[in-house]
Structure 1
Amino acid sequence: MASDPQRLVTCVLERLTPEQRGAAGEAVEALVISRLAQAQARHPRLVVDPTVLASLLVRAIGTAADPSAALARAHTDDLFLVAAILSGDSHAIAAFELQAVEPIGRVLAHMQPAAVLVDEVKQLVRTKLLLAEGDRGARVGEYSGRGELRSWVGVIATREALSLLRRDAKTTTPGDDALLAMPSPLTGPELGFLKERYRDEFRAAFTSAIGELTPRDRNALRHHYVQGLTIDQIATMYGIHRSNAARRVAKGRDELLSATRRRLVLGLKVDRVEFESIMRLIESRIDVSIQRMLGADEGPHAP
């Protein structure tokens, strides 16, 4: 939906200093109108609050004595996209994903990262930039427009990747002893036997099952169980309905449990009764196991 060009011009001029307004003349008005048309042509589906876009444009101008020259240097198409995100347009989230998040793999290619690390960096970037924190708005609003949006996101992604690599160099993954760390409906000798006899098999099956998940399912589980995001927050992050977000988390959990079961069926030589006891133990701890295993890769830093 098109924003009213004249309203946007008014909002921009109102936010300039008196000195800047005096120097602007008609140049700023003409530039704002032309850049708005250009941005709308590139992102025709996006809806933008003119006051939000005006604030971003004026921040890009800064204290420049010649506001029209400063605005001409700004990446206004990218500022338009950011303004749409801050205005709550769900289509803007999808555009941001395509334009700035998907290229992260190429940005990190020189590090020769594992695919799982690239997935982790992408979801950290989404969380860091797209989710509001308390009274503070989404941090994507900190983008200044003085460089390409995808380059700005690429810098953030590189920092996150380096942080993950440094952390991984200092720590070891604890495996999935969490499967055996929480209370279980099984008690007494049966529980003790299962814990000790199949500890290694549990760990190997669960680790392999994590690796079998799609990046989308793995990220959904990480968002919910490790970062503690609500279904509504996950829905906002991806620009989807909350029911779809809930199904995405449930699907990831079910796929993980099914993959673990398949691995154990192939690896354990036990009868049906004992196998079902093993699965009851696993099912009783699956949530905390997800949290511990994926949390080992999340690190202590907040998004």
Structure 2
Amino acid sequence: MANAPELIATLLSHARVPLTPPTDDAALESLLTRAWEASRAQWNTVTIDAEVFVRHLAERFPEARPGASIESLIEPLSLPELYLACACGQGQPAAVEAFEQHYLAKLLGMLAYLKQPSAAVDDVCQLARVKLLVRTPDSEPRINDYTGRGALLSWVRVTAVRIALKLQAADKPSPDDDVAEVLDALPAPGVDAELDLIKQRHQTELRQALREAFATLASDERHLLRLYFVDRLSTTELGALLRVNQSTVSRWVKSARQRIYEETRRRLLARLNLSAGGFESFLAVLDSQFDVSMSQLFGEEERQPDGAMMKR
């Protein structure tokens, strides 16, 4: 077990707010040791070192009035739940299993008051799990944002509600930002007269066709594409999340994307009065830029690099 000076040094060196040095090292040692041991006892299948836990604790200390003791900052924290969150952030399977059993499993019932369709609530729960537990190329698991102030279950519920509100907003009619990137990627005026004419005259038809094509997918397919294109989870990560083979996820993504493309093409062909050659030229440009539009079509704010996209 780490001795008192080591734990205190960890606490003071990793705190992101100024801390008043302890007047009694032995008392603080006892407090930190008891906090670690009690937290470990509550989650007896989850093990993290005392120094790791104290560092995690220190990095989440709240702002305090000058002269406030370290003991007074620690006392109101939910330390066992902070311990579990720390282990989940490290990706420990036992911790993730405990978090799913004691927290995520309760989300479905806790979100019933939102009065949303069951499929929508399922989407929210799945997205909450990903946001909270999965590390992406751009971000750490959001469980690391939990500071121990307040109950972890309440914090998880608030996180899920925010996701639900964001999804609701994304489903509402909005300005035509969702396909703006596709349209902007078309050649500039003068490069191809017919393509420029299409861009000027048929923006409404293109946007509508893309939206209608997405609407033909089942909710689980839209959820899959959101995880793949917006959250940038690899097919390997998705396979682990959905408990299927990576090749199966690749097939699902490719199939859903292809159906969106073909449905968009079919609807545009029925609506646009263009020559066969002009229409095929337009589709060639649309095809080359199709993956770029995926995240915008989901109404998400995140911008994904082309390297993460799957080519048709």
TM over 0.5: yes
Map Cα deviations across residues 174-231 of structure 1 (whole Å, 9 max, x no partner).
453544332359x63542565467655532332133342331222321134xxxxx96
CA contact (8 A) 2:89 2:133 kept: no
- Map residues 20-31 of structure 1 onto 2, 5 A cutoff: 21-22=26-27
CA contact (8 A) 2:104 2:125 kept: no
Q: 1:8/1:99 Cα in 2 relative to 1: closer, same or farther (>3 Å)?
A: farther
- Map residues 124-135 of structure 1 onto 2, 5 A cutoff: none
- Map residues 164-175 of structure 1 onto 2, 5 A cutoff: 171-174=174-177
Query: 2:52 maps to what in 1?
Result: 52
Q: 1:249/1:148 Cα in 2 relative to 1: closer, same or farther (>3 Å)?
A: farther
User: How many Å apart are 1:10 and its aligned residue?
Assistant: 8.6
Query: 1:283 maps to what in 2?
Result: 287
**3-state SS of paired residue (1:144):** coil
Query: 1:3 maps to what in 2?
Result: none
CA contact (8 A) 2:146 2:152 kept: yes
Identify unmatched segments of 5+ residues in structure 2: 13-21, 63-68, 304-312
Do structure 1's residue 143 and structure 2's residue 150 form an aligned pair? no
Q: 1:149/1:255 Cα in 2 relative to 1: closer, same or farther (>3 Å)?
A: same
Query: 1:262 maps to what in 2?
Result: 263
**3-state SS of paired residue (2:186):** coil
Q: 1:172/1:119 Cα in 2 relative to 1: closer, same or farther (>3 Å)?
A: farther
Structure with greater contact order relative to length (CA < 8 Å, sep ≥ 6): 1
Q: 1:181/1:268 Cα in 2 relative to 1: closer, same or farther (>3 Å)?
A: same
Query: 1:202 maps to what in 2?
Result: 206
Do structure 1's residue 158 and structure 2's residue 161 form an aligned pair? yes
Backbone CA RMSD of aligned residues: 5.5
CA contact (8 A) 1:13 1:21 kept: no
* Structure with a larger share of its residues in helix: 1
CA separation in 1, counterparts of 2:51 and 2:251?
39
CA separation in 2, counterparts of 1:121 and 1:127?
10
The percent identity for this pair of structures is 20
CA separation in 1, counterparts of 2:122 and 2:176?
18
Identify unmatched segments of 5+ residues in structure 1: 1-5, 225-229
User: How many Å apart are 1:281 and its aligned residue?
Assistant: 3.2
**3-state SS of paired residue (1:64):** helix
- Map residues 179-198 of structure 1 onto 2, 5 A cutoff: 179-183=182-186, 188-192=192-196, 194-195=198-199
Map Cα deviations across residues 133-184 of structure 1 (whole Å, 9 max, x no partner).
99x9766334233433231122234345557767988954545354433235
TM-score (norm 1): 0.59
Map Cα deviations across residues 38-81 of structure 1 (whole Å, 9 max, x no partner).
3133x4xxx534322133467789733697xx48x7351x3232
Do structure 1's residue 19 and structure 2's residue 24 form an aligned pair? yes
CA contact (8 A) 1:176 1:292 kept: yes
**3-state SS of paired residue (1:298):** coil
Q: 1:204/1:159 Cα in 2 relative to 1: closer, same or farther (>3 Å)?
A: closer
Of 260, 279, 296, 1:292 maps to 296
Query: 2:225 maps to what in 1?
Result: 217
Map Cα deviations across residues 12-63 of structure 1 (whole Å, 9 max, x no partner).
57759343733886x875664354133133x4xxx53432213346778973
Query: What amino acid does structure 2 have at the position aligned with 1:55?
Result: R
TM-score (norm 2): 0.57
**3-state SS of paired residue (1:145):** coil
